[in-house]
Amino acid sequence: MRRREGCLDVYENPYYYDVAFGFRDIAKEVDFFEECIRKYSKVKVKKVLDIGCGPSPYMLELVKRGYAFTGLDISKPMLDYSLEKARKAGITIGVIHADMRRFRVKENFDFAFCMLGSLEVETNSDFLSHLDSVATCLSQGGLYLLDSGIQFDWTKLGGESWTVIKDGLVINVAWETAPLNFIEQKIMEKITLEVIEGKRTKVLKTEKVGKLIFPQEFLQLVNRNGKFEFLGWFNNFDLEQPLEEAERFNRPITLLRKR
């Protein structure tokens, strides 16, 4: 993750990130998690792990439904923010300060998930090492759900902008990706938040290098890693919409199960 001189970093300002990316219907997405668990999990799910949790937008809904929540992130401010959010709600959660590309924890989880394209890898070795890390802490028969993170539509790179107005704040959000290295399949991803609070305006930015993983490459890597079964990929949080039949990709979900 690269920071710009004189500019605030998006991931070190969790509240603004939380507002800017708060467009999701979390209850509906958690309904989908539970549908996947009912249909595909071979273990009863009690403990869940949110990988690259950021401000933990899924935490309150999951805890309300009886799951024990742990968030893993490389950003300490994101974890502190999640802990404070939990404290205010009167609940207890776990946090793990670690790099998703290589981590080892003693605890075991029954369901793991990585939302909104939070799979952060720069090479195929990083991805294989990430799968190893998840495998070591996921129960046998437990699911690993990935939201986006795979480049399904390789004819174009993503980019979007939107505005959120909440609690006296106006946040203009821009998310852009640009090719960096075609042979290494690397891109530069930029997130810019322009936060307008009364008469004050702040600009927050994050720039990071990522590696595109194409669908067939993903399947080969999962196969080579050998620790997960591939169960399928689905459009827009709907098990009735396999990606093979999709005309456009919208929040594609990939499901793996620990062998």
Please select the residue that binds ligand SAM; options are 41, 75, 129, 139, rule is CB under 6 A. Answer: 75
Interface with ligand SAM includes 70 (CB under 6 A)? no
**Contact range with ligand SAM by CB under 6 A, out of 116-124, 134-142, 173-181, 229-237:** 116-124
Tokens of 157: 């790179």
User: What is the smallest separation between the CB atom of 232 and ligand SAM, expressed in angstroms?
Assistant: 21
For residue 248, count other CB atoms closer than 10 A to its CB. Answer: 8
Subset of residues 5 to 44 that bind ligand SAM, contact rule: CB under 6 A: 11, 21
Q: Which is nearer to ligand SAM, 99 or 229 (CB)?
A: 99
Interface with ligand SAM includes 189 (CB under 6 A)? no
SS (H, E, C) the chain: CECCCCCEEHHHCHHHHHHHCCCCCHHHHHHHHHHHHHHHCCCCCCEEEEECCCCCCCHHHHHHCCCEEEEEECCHHHHHHHHHHHHHHCCCCEEEECECCECCCCCCEEEEEECCCCCCCCCHHHHHHHHHHHHHHEEEEEEEEEECCCCCCCCCCCEEEEEEEECCEEEEEEEEEEEEECCCCEEEEEEEEEEEECCEEEEEEEEEEEECCCHHHHHHHHHHHCCEEEEEEECCCCCCCEHHHCCCCCCCEEEEEEC
Interface with ligand SAM includes 52 (CB under 6 A)? yes
Please select the residue that binds ligand SAM; options are 73, 85, 175, 257, rule is CB under 6 A. Answer: 73
**Site track 84-113 with ligand SAM (rule: CB under 6 A), x = hit:** ---------------xxx------------
User: What is the smallest separation between the CB atom of 56 and ligand SAM, expressed in angstroms?
Assistant: 7
Whether the CB-CB separation of 192 and 171 falls below 8 Å is answered with no
**Nearest Cα to Cα of residue 68 among 54, 41, 49:** 49
Q: Which is nearer to ligand SAM, 8 or 116 (CB)?
A: 116
Name the residue with the smallest CB distance to ligand SAM: 54
The CA R_g of the chain, rounded to the nearest whole Å, is 18
Interface with ligand SAM includes 142 (CB under 6 A)? no
User: What is the smallest separation between the CB atom of 206 and ligand SAM, expressed in angstroms?
Assistant: 8
Please select the residue that binds ligand SAM; options are 20, 45, 78, 195, rule is CB under 6 A. Answer: 78
Q: Which is nearer to ligand SAM, 9 or 110 (CB)?
A: 9
**Contact range with ligand SAM by CB under 6 A, out of 51-59, 161-169, 197-205, 238-246:** 51-59
Distance CA 120, CA 130 (A): 9
Interface with ligand SAM includes 53 (CB under 6 A)? yes
Interface with ligand SAM includes 74 (CB under 6 A)? yes
Contacts with ligand SAM by CB under 6 A lie at 11, 21, 52-54, 57, 73-75, 78, 99-101, 115-116, 118, 120
